Structure 1
Amino acid sequence: DLAPTHPLTADLAHAALLCGYDIVGEPRSGESAEVAVWWRVLNRPDRGDYGPIARLTDPWGFVWGETQPFHYPSEQWTPGELVIDHLSIPVALGAPPGDYLVHFSLYSPSGGSLLPVLDDADRYAGTYVELPLHLARAAVPPDIADLDIRSRLDARAGGLTLLGVNLDTTSARPGERLYLTLFWRADEAPLPDHDVHLTLGDRRLYAGAPVHGTHPISAWVAGEVVTDRYAPRLPRDMPPGDYPLRLRLGDLALDLGVVAVQAIERIFDIPPISHPLTTTLGDQVELLGYDLSAETAVPGDTLTLTLYWRALTEMDEDYTVFVHLVAPDGSMTGQRDNSPVGGSYPTSLWLAGEVVTDAYAIPVRAGAAPGKHRLEVGMYVAETGARLSIAGTPDDALLLQTVTITGP
């Protein structure tokens, strides 16, 4: 029987069962990654325009290529059929050689939605499946004119040239990422190793070999062009002001631009809370309590829930808060899932000890049945669905209280 060379199993919303994938040929920088994805149709989804979308992503989350063909939409699917879908993903010029992931999903343009990945217990487990592959260096160096360099520098450092830089972040809050791309060329080889040093004012943002320490200069070949992307976080305690961004590599020292660090108003005192609690989520965050606008509601009402969080540590993860109103039969009566403070203040910006007030408007479903409905909250990683653990709960969802739904 035919079978993929890289078998795996992933359930996409009970509509498609991913069986595995093949890598066709050798993916190369600046060319394409050819991937054949095997999946079996389980059921037709709710929309007829679902189709594959695949992104070539490095271990640090940068996307180096994407394809979204529309050659076999879900309106043509037949339950039980096996689909072997050949995807050609263009790879950006200068993409460093190394290990990458193809993030494979099924996407509906009309709904702007991705089919969720479900785990063995039918719980949400993210919106994509990871398909590992290795990218080889370019067979021929790219033409420099074809690179997307916005600021040409052509600065020489021994047998190395910094062709240019793209500074994508010129204003940020403490804790936010600074996006920067350096474009290098090895004019000769072999070359001695040198570390890249990036500083903002007197604060160190990065020190290490290029490509996050995975592609040292001594491994480069003559003529090789390396697109070297960075996204360091600004120190969370950095005062507001304008700071020079500087690069140093060996004898090369350059100012790359100025970054404005914005002020953040932080609160460390606990405000009055009508329902105080002390619940820890994964040793990362403490829920201090909540306020609720009403304990009874009718279908079509909107409840306002205010949560009070305290950071126990600094977090690199941007957690998503879930607020669920669950009917006695387990169906969802009302729901809000988003980053804290309406998406404007992600957890990665919080300082240890900081108190964050976080309000949610929860619409009660028009057809909600009368009875006592559970109000549950928690936090999870949006990419994987993994929740922060809460002791004493079966599914890491904290029951705040019940809300009584009465007839309209």
Structure 2
Amino acid sequence: DGIIAQKDDTLRSGWFPLDHLPAGQPFVGAYPLQIPPGALPGSYRLQLAVYQKARHEWPLENGSQTLDLGPVEVKFSPAGASPGAKRFNNEISLDNYDFKVKRVGQGKGFPLRLLWRALKTPNDNYTLLVELIDRDNRVWRDWQAPLETTSWQPDQQVRQQIDLTVPAEAPTGPNALRVRLSWLRPDGSPLPARHWILPIGNSISLDGPAITPKKNRSFEKPSPQTESAINFENKAALIGYDLPSAVSGQPSAVSPSSLSLTLYWQGLGEMRHSYTVFVHLVDSAGKVIAQQDAAPGERGKQPTTSWAIGEYITDPVEIPLPPNLPPGEYTVVAGLYLSPNGPRLQRLDEAGQAAGDSATLGKTTMKNE
């Protein structure tokens, strides 16, 4: 599920005689919502949320952050403008596109927004192939998006968004990478492409945003308090950590406390996905009593997609402790998973076999004094 249209406006969108809202005062707000060209026909849910800038949404009484206003039926409307010049097999034209950004860093993501048009009902269900290529036509990364193109009606526009990620070691500079688009038949063969009536091969290329280098990469091995060699699926290694042996001070609602530690990672292989680091504080019964889940690095600024092979990453972690946490010894466990509910990376043993989906770092003691 995704948002196809959104309108953000002040709560009081129209004139109101007072500069504040008295309790119990009803008022009317009008929020025109424009359906973008290319939105697929069908039933959509209309939802409402209220929030303050730079803060979370205001929750409803049931805890939900959105109010479901009910279904809205979007109907097919023929496109008004002329079809684009770039066409595939005289079935599909590319009417427009944008990247939303002019530059993007190594390892960072950006959206590719496409507006297609069916010149006629396509002959089959095709798959869109998107490739990031350099000046030598080397493919750095690719994505495939199967679509039910046989459901497209003649002259219908279809909006599509592909979220792309620049590889960590991609070349940098203006026009360092281009985006190549192809439509594939079910047997994998590409549709021929044309610019108006002129054949241009089996694909079209778009100039991509400028690629900027990642700042402050480090290939100098750090010196953690405790060294380790924990391999997560040959993608990342936990080479060490700083873990306090004890935390003093009883946390309470009035005086909260936290456990501060540092993880040291090294990139082992290319990562197409941004993994989340989890760190759990576990009691003697095996129950998780505190945790922190976040993208790695200071303020989450070191996503795993930006890790070059051999690069070292310092990852400070702050675990909030619950009030009235009993004193005693606790175990610290860490790992990586694909957010929000994806699988964890497996820890490999010396033989390269899966040996669990987390790593036990050590123990720390909670003290009252």
Q: Which residue of 2 aligns with 1:155?
A: 85
Are the counterparts in 1 of residues 279 and 334 from structure 2 also a CA contact under 8 Å?
A: yes
User: Structure 2 vs 1, CA of residues 97 and 198 (structure 1 numbering), >3 Å: closer, same or farther?
Assistant: farther
Equivalences for 1:224-373 in 2 at 5 Å? 224-243=156-175, 245=178, 250-252=193-195, 259-264=209-214, 265-300=216-251, 301-341=257-297, 342-373=299-330
Q: Distance in 1 between matches of 2:59 and 2:121?
A: 51
Matched with 2:115 is 183
1:271-317 C-alpha deviation (Å, 9 max, x unpaired)? 11220111122333211111124534332344321111122211122
Total equivalences in the alignment: 293
Q: Hey, what's the Cα distance between the residues in 2 that align with 1:261 and 1:312?
A: 23
- Aligned letter for 1:212? A
Distance 1:376 1:220 in 2: 50
Q: 1:141 to 1:370 in 2, by over 3 A?
A: same
| CA distance in structure 2 between the partners assigned to 1:324 and 1:159 by the alignment | 53
Displacement of 1:373: 1.2
User: SS of the counterpart of 2:305?
Assistant: helix
Greater relative contact order (Cα < 8 A, sep 6+): 2
Q: 1:255 to 1:196 in 2, by over 3 A?
A: same
- For structure 2, list consecutive stretches of 5 or more residues without a partner in the other structure: 7-33, 46-55, 64-73, 183-192, 252-256
Going from structure 1 to structure 2, the CA distance change for 1:373 and 1:212 (only over 3 Å counts) comes to same
User: How do 1:125-140 and structure 2 match up within 5 A?
Assistant: 140=76
SS in structure 2 at match of 1:212: strand
**AA in 2 matched with 1:270:** K
Contact 1:333 1:365 in 2 (8 A): yes
Deviations 1:71-124, CA, capped at 9 Å, x for gaps: xxxxxxxxxxxxxxxxxxx997535699xxx9xxxxx95459x99xxxxxxxxx
For residues 12-161 of structure 1, the aligned pairs below 5 Å read 56=1, 63-64=3-4, 94-95=38-39, 110=58, 140-144=76-80, 154-155=84-85, 157=87, 160-161=92-93
The answer on whether the counterparts of 2:245 and 2:363 sit within 8 Å (CA) in structure 1 is: no
The alpha carbon displacement at 1:182 in A equals 1.8
Amino acid at match of 2:232: L
* CA distance in 2: counterparts of 1:283 and 1:206, whole angstroms: 19
> Which letter does structure 2 place at the counterpart of 1:187?
L
| Aligned mates of 1:236, 1:391 — CA distance in 2 | 23
Tell me how far 1:359 sits from its aligned partner. 0.9
Deviation at 1:156, TM superposition (A): 5.3
User: How large is the RMSD of aligned CA atoms in angstroms?
Assistant: 4.6
Check whether the contact 1:318–1:381 (CA below 8 A) recurs between aligned residues: yes
Instruction: Work out which of the residue numbers 386, 397, 400 in structure 1 matches 2:343.
Output: 386
Could you tell me how far 1:399 is from its partner in structure 2? Answer: 1.9
Cα distance in 1 for residues equivalent to 2:302 and 2:225: 23
Q: 1-side partners of 2:366 and 2:243: how far apart?
A: 14
CA distance in 2, matches of 1:139, 1:362: 49
Q: Distance in 2 between matches of 1:350 and 1:309?
A: 10
How far 1:251 moved relative to its partner?
A: 3.0
For 2:58 and 2:289, locate their aligned partners in 1 and report how far apart those are by CA, in whole Å: 25
Shift of 1:179: 1.2
Counterpart CA distance in 2 for 1:140 and 1:246 is 29
**Residue 382 of structure 1: how far off its partner (Å):** 2.1
Alignment-derived partner of residue 81 in structure 1: none
Percent of aligned pairs sharing the same letter? 25
* 2:367 paired with 1:406: yes
CA distance in 2, matches of 1:65, 1:257: 27
Report the secondary structure of 1:241's partner residue.
coil
What TM-score comes out, normalization by structure 2 length? 0.62
CA distance in structure 1 between the partners assigned to 2:181 and 2:365 by the alignment:
63
Matched residue SS, 2:145: coil
| Cα pair 1:284 1:311 within 8 Å, conserved | yes
Measure, in 2, the Cα distance between the counterparts of 1:191 and 1:400.
Answer: 57
The DSSP-based 3-state class of the residue aligned with 2:347 is coil
What is aligned with 1:134? none
Question: 3-state DSSP class of the match of 1:271?
Answer: coil
Structure 1: how far apart are the matches of 2:5 and 2:107? 27
Residue deviations 1:159-203 (CA, integer Å, cap 9, x gap)? 654322232232211232331122122334668999877656525
For residues 262 and 166 of structure 2, the distance between their equivalents in structure 1, rounded to whole angstroms, comes to: 29
> In structure 1, what is the Cα distance between the partners aligned to 2:244 and 2:223?
15
